[in-house]
Chains A and B, each alone.
Chain A
Amino acid sequence: MKLLFNRVFDGADEMYAIAEKTLNETVAELGESAPINMPNTGYFLANHYSYLGKRVTTMGELKACFPEVKSWMRHEQRLGDAFKSGFGTVMAAEVIEACKYAKSSEPYGDEYHGHLSDAEVRELGVPLVTGDIPGFVVIIGPAPSDEEAVELIKGYQSRAIFVFLIGGIIDQAKRMNLSMGFPVRVVAVGPEIWCAAHIISFVNRAAMIFGAVQPGDHEAYDHYTFHRIRAFVNAFDPVADIVVACGGGAIAMGFPVITNDTKDMWPVPKSLIIQEDTKNFIETSLEARDIKIKVTKIDIPLAFSAAFEGEIVRRNDTWVDIDGSRMDCFEWVRTLEAHEVEDHSIELIGPDIDSVEPGSRMALSYVLEVAGKNMQSDFEPVIERKFHNFLNCVEGVMHTGQRDIIRMRVSKTAYEAGFRARHIGEVLYAKVKSDFESVVDKCQVKIYTVPEQLKALRAEATKAYDARDARLLSLTDESVGVFYNCILCQSFSPAHVCVVTPERLGLCGAVSWLDAKATNELDPNGPCQVVTKERVVDENIGIWEDVNEAVNQASHGSLQQVTLYSIMVDPMTSCGCFECICGIEPMTNGVVIVNREHAGMTPLGMTFSEMASMTGGGVQTPGFMGHGKQFISSKKFMKAEGGSARIVWMPAALKELVGAKLNKTASELYGVEDFVSKIADETVAEDVDGLAAFLSEHEHPVLNMEPLM
């Protein structure tokens, strides 16, 4: 067997020999002073200009550079030599092409595209840099059949990938009457492998234009192409040494080569990939170059808009009622390995919704399986929680609940418009891929409707839900490495910063630590940033130097320090969206909590609105604090002052809402059972005297605590 290095070196020599011959013949024919003007470019011979920093304008100058090209093709058994030989091969190829253009400004006529103009570089470069064109492929050689050639090209086209063709595949495309040209994003570059020089010329000019890379700075080109240009090569069997040599250059630039040739081929992970089944070229290629395809439209027969979010489907208008309260209906997101997920596969397992009588109930569940390099199981519930919103936006579809208590109705009108079970998958696929694009690389949906199968699957899903709940419970401020801030509200409360921890969710109640984490991952420059917690000052009241620095920076200097667990010392600020306000009640040494919905008076002599006016706006008011409802039962709730045992009054509705969890916390922290029954509410006291009487009557633990002030 021949080693890969040797194949590259032999291929490089072969290209060099052809270049040398062409060069000598052309010089003999035109003379050394003959000009070389590649049409419509300001970058000379772009590859020579990029790698050597030389501006080649005449045949003589081209000839003068040629020994230097040779010096790039050293033949030692080293990776660096193979890569460099690859670049040398590209320059040799450029010599061959330059000689053609020295003889004629249009050597290829209409047959092939050849050299790309600077205008084309810019036109294609902009969408490549912005990601509107997710990448480009260079397809070399004839495919096994004409049909397969066209199928592959169209497959790339449908994914908005720009296609360059070299060699026999061009004839195949022509025989199949495939429409080609720059506007349809399929360019027949040329018949021979040295035409690849035009593509690399495009790449190098893009690096100069869009990356401000300086001619001659070879490493900067590699760096730019590797990080910014999402390109790859598909080379069909048989792949000659000369193609392998060009491939060495492509790989050095960061462009993986995918081939079905197995003879003397040496797979290199992420770089040289053997995919014997050419039907899988696209999938393998996209994965190798980390290209994600943007989903631009949702393939359903109905309108999709936030306008339909609140739409109710009445019983009489219902075609099918998917009812999780009576049947095994659930929704579930789970993470799989990349190879286990076929992107955009939507599978219906069981009968469709056209199998039922209008107005009947049906069991249906859907499992969304995702894979992604940045995917974490913590994001599963975050994604899953959005299903409600996604499905409700479909005209004629109503969705409520989550996990295994979902209920979904599809209206008769929606059914008649052609809506079927598979469309649930289309909606979820499209929305998840676009809204969670930074974490979800691949996504498939399975829809199940066979009752027997659903029972087993539901048990499996329930296990996953339980594991998530256990994870949530195990998340404490101590067990995580970082906190997050949230500055979503700064548009109207410029000085406010929330510090979100596992045990203290954002005061609006809408941003948990997991939400903040997901937001940060999805939108790294967005409103939630990582707050480290490495330099602890006082763990009891919750002071970290890093937290203070983060708050100072995020509030643009308005706020120097906060404590996470105290209401008296530098309490966290509030914007104005707090679900609840907690304020100290000096007579009882306790605190009163009132939620936004409660309109009545509190024992502090102030209503919610009156308390809100002194709590919001990003100012620190010791003794007052805005917070989320779920924070009440947290073990970190004003921990510095003794914790939730300080709560002496809450509206009855709020007690009802947080009661069970709060009782559990009080039991664990203080050994007090049924703690909530010791907390007064508006039905027993709206003033201090009534409150004090109630507390002593019920032996509230606050009576034995230290004074607050």
Chain B
Amino acid sequence: MPFKRTPQQFAASIKEVTIGTGDKAVTLGGENVFPLYSFDAPISNPPKVGVEFSDTGPDRSVPGIAAFYAGADSLGDVAKRACDMPGADFVSLVLESADPNGDDMPIEECVALCREVAEAVSLPLVIQGSKNVEKDAKLFEKVAEALQGKNVLLMSAREDNHKAIAVAAVMAYGQKIGAESSVDINLAKQLNVLVSQLGIGGENVVMNLGTAAAGYGFEYVASTMDRVRGAALAQNDNMLQMPAITPVAGDAWSVKESVAPEEDFPEWGPAEQRGVSMEISTAASVLAAGANAVILRHPDSVAAVSKLVSELM
């Protein structure tokens, strides 16, 4: 019996969200097929790859990263260098020092760093917060104000602070937000509903559905993302049709496989190579499950994942 090809296209589609300005702006989402199913219908906006660095600079304990950023001392230089990483579509600053349980950097200083980075970059900017709900609420309001006109994506608005962040970032200062939930389709949807009830349209919201490194309970992530995409496309659930972004690097570079020194596990080979592998395999998995963008650290990972995407499209 001959093979009969029936393209699986949906009447519904993922909403488009644009970050950044000018010709380097990137658009996430827009597809009406399952993730990476470009054989069913063209995917106008292929998944994007972002380069992450902390406000304390890139992680120079990893030789490949240290080599890439060699000579880039100020945060502005680092940001500029990150934009030149082959395969990078956007860059992402993590405001790690803002964490009240860590350095607790004052908001004004964080804002100054964001300004420095925003001035330096040529690619769209995604800013990740301190992971502290109260601090992020205040922090993002000020960052959003300081970076008016840059159309940055502020990650993340969570259930406990979404109002302050969404209203300030999107309505008052015209930025985009990442709605973050923790690996649960219903919580993701609830947050999107709450944000939309503030009067904020889907074209301003990207979902961060939560993640884990591959092998670390990743099946929860995969099934949640699968179901979110299923509901968005097959059931036309417009409260789940926002594009998804997944910060992969933080998890991938903190698991045992990435950090255990080679002396302790000689049979595992060089630590750096393992970290890159974790980053690539996690990124590839979330892209297959439905992410429209991933955020990575290592130049080799960025190159590999960007190549993967371009060859699949």
Contacts and interface: CB of A to CB of B under 8 A. Distances in A.
A490 B172 contact: no
A494 B199 CA distance: 29
Given A129-B198, A130-B164, A490-B185, A209 B172 contact: yes
A499 B283 CA distance: 38
A129 B194 contact: no
A687 B235 CA distance: 48
Nearest to B237: A556
B136 interface: no
Interface in B175-191: 183-187, 190
A556 B172 CA distance: 35
Interface stretch (B22-30, B79-87, B223-231, B267-275): B223-231
Contacts of B172: 122, 125-126, 209-210
Contact of A126 (B164, B185, B223, B227): B164
B141 interface: yes
B186 A490 contact: yes
A211 interface: yes
B147 interface: no
A101 to B, nearest CB: 24
B227 A556 contact: yes
B135 to A, nearest CB: 15
A494 B227 contact: yes
A211 B167 CA distance: 10
A38 interface: no
B173 A526 contact: no
A122 B145 contact: yes
Interface in B185-237: 185-187, 190, 193-194, 197-199, 223-224, 227, 230-231, 234-235, 237
Contacts of A494: 185, 223-224, 227
B213 to A, nearest CB: 19
Nearest to A228: B199
A144 B173 CA distance: 42
Contacts of A490: 184-186
A283 interface: no
A210 B199 CA distance: 8
Interface string A536-579: 00000000000000000100110000000000000000000000
A212 interface: yes
Contacts of A526: 190
A557 B168 CA distance: 36
B199 A212 contact: yes
Contact of A129 (B163, B185, B186, B237): B163
A316 interface: no
B259 interface: no
Contacts of B145: 119, 122
A525 B167 contact: no
Contacts of A212: 199
Interface string A243-259: 00000000000000000
B171 A209 contact: yes
Nearest to B172: A122
Interface string A45-61: 00000000000000000
A107 interface: no
Interface string B129-168: 0000000000001000100000000000000000110011
A83 B224 CA distance: 52
Contact of B193 (A119, A129, A525, A556): A525
A126 B173 CA distance: 10
A129 B235 contact: no
A119 B171 CA distance: 13
B5 to A, nearest CB: 25
A527 B230 CA distance: 20
A556 B167 contact: no
A494 B226 CA distance: 12
Contacts of B173: 122
A132 B164 contact: yes
A432 to B, nearest CB: 20
A487 interface: yes
A360 B167 CA distance: 54
A222 B210 CA distance: 40
**Which of B171, B173, B224, B230 has the most chain A CB within a 10 Å cutoff?**
B171
B36 to A, nearest CB: 21
A572 B168 CA distance: 44
A127 to B, nearest CB: 8
A557 B199 contact: no
Contacts of B197: 525
A487 B186 contact: yes
Contacts of B163: 129-131
B230 A525 contact: no
Nearest to B148: A122
Contacts of A491: 183-184, 186-187
Nearest to B169: A126
A301 B172 CA distance: 40
Contacts of A487: 186
Contacts of B234: 557
A494 B193 CA distance: 19
**Which of B145, B173, B186, B190 has the most chain A CB within a 10 Å cutoff?**
B186
B193 A211 contact: no
Contacts of B230: 556-557
A125 to B, nearest CB: 6
Contacts of B237: 556
Nearest to A487: B186
Contacts of B231: 556-557
B198 A556 contact: no
Nearest to B141: A126
A496 to B, nearest CB: 11
B190 A129 contact: no
Contacts of A126: 141, 164, 167-168, 171-172
Interface string A517-543: 000000001110000000000000000
Contacts of B190: 525-526
B171 A129 contact: yes
B167 A129 contact: yes
A212 B201 CA distance: 11
A46 to B, nearest CB: 16
Contact of A210 (B171, B185, B186, B224): B171
A211 B183 CA distance: 31
Interface string A483-496: 00001001100100
21 contacts: A122-B173, A126-B168, A127-B164, A129-B171, A130-B164, A130-B167, A211-B199, A212-B199, A487-B186, A490-B186, A491-B183, A494-B185, A494-B223, A494-B224, A494-B227, A525-B190, A525-B193, A525-B194, A525-B197, A527-B186, A556-B231
Given A126-B164, A127-B164, A557-B231, 6 more contacts: A122-B168, A125-B167, A129-B163, A209-B171, A494-B224, A557-B235
